[in-house]
Structure 1
Amino acid sequence: MNPLCGRCNLVVYPTEKINCLDKYWHTRCFRCEVCNMSLNMKNYKGFAKRPYCNAHYPRANFTCVADTPENIRLKQQSKMQSQVLYKEDFEKNKGKSFTVVTDTPELQRLKISQNQVSNVKYHEEFEKSKTPHLHEELKSKTQHQQPAFQPPAASQNYHYDPAPEPVRPAAAAPPPSAGKRYRAVYDYAAADEDEVSFMDGDVIVDVQQIDEGWMYGRVERTGQQGMLPANYVEAI
């Protein structure tokens, strides 16, 4: 049985049949729905199973939706819900995103070498800055220092010769202490009962090495004994 045409609903014979858009058409009926231009299989465009030419092919346009009070309320509500969910996830995952790096032997070696280099550079800069400062202090003290006694001016009838000041004997040097001697390069305040406090420039005697980071010794200025950090002192 021959099918019917999609436009005129008449029988379509095989000699004039076009099969397109899930329908059968007469050659003369296969035309544009708008301008009635004759179409073929190369220049037609289908929309909703109907043939159109290129000029009258329906094109979909975007629809603009006005911000009604209901749409604004829904927008604000969705924004608040997203913020609440974000804060909950942030509180749950807070502090869990940090990556823990294990102290491999290579990292430990690099860390120790960096500490040594930084300490050496700091000591060099500290000694360079400390020397001119001491010279300026000594110079200012000598300039502003006044003599302890000034003899009165001699008159025409009397001549006064001041008596020479007695020469004091030099103080005997303290006996050397047993053990190693170190000099403090930083101030340190004791953080525990078994530690000892000292100031920059103090001499620590009878020093004994406990481990890589701590020593035991006696501050020569105060006479106190205790543990002290090894990176705060240098050997004399």
Structure 2
Amino acid sequence: MNPPCGRCNKPVYPTEKINCLDKYWHKGCFSCEVCKMALSMNNYKGFEKKPYCTMHYPKTSFTIVTDTPENLRLKQQSLLNSQIKYHEEFEKSKTRSDAPPPENRQEQELQASNSERFNQPAGQMRPAVVSPPSGGKRYQALYSYVAAEADEVSLQEGDLVSDVEPIDEGWMFGCNQRTGKRGMLPANYVRPI
């Protein structure tokens, strides 16, 4: 039995058979899907098992971005910035009725930091709160931050940062008390305590 043609579904006989794109075609039916120009095995382009001429071949363009260290850093920074925006919007959407009364807020924060410290895996316990040696400003991390450069400091949510000095509008310099490392950190990831 002769197979059906990929275009007209009529039987294709061996003398006029073209086997291409997982189908059989009559020589006259093997033409461009758009302009119907007759094609041969030398000048066709296949797309989704259909023949096209060079002019009407569907173009799929992709943007290739190489994973250079700088592009990876920018990608990571964009992700972190989107997380910051989400956190800020979430905080703004919370009603003030969730906030504990002022006299109980400090006690609740102390209880939360103590329970968080004791719920850490062994070997990763957070140190007890210690006053900064130089008496500089102290801040607490609102969000986790992974250092993107060697002169930056990584943070985990809740970390205490001492000896904080503002550098410019978006960055500060300080010491993460949990790790003991000093360096730059984003100003909108921390709040004064």
TM-score range (shorter-chain normalised) is: 0.3 to 0.5
If the length of structure 1 is used for normalisation, what is the TM-score? Answer: 0.35
Higher relative contact order (CA 8 A, sep 6+): 2
If the length of structure 2 is used for normalisation, what is the TM-score? Answer: 0.41
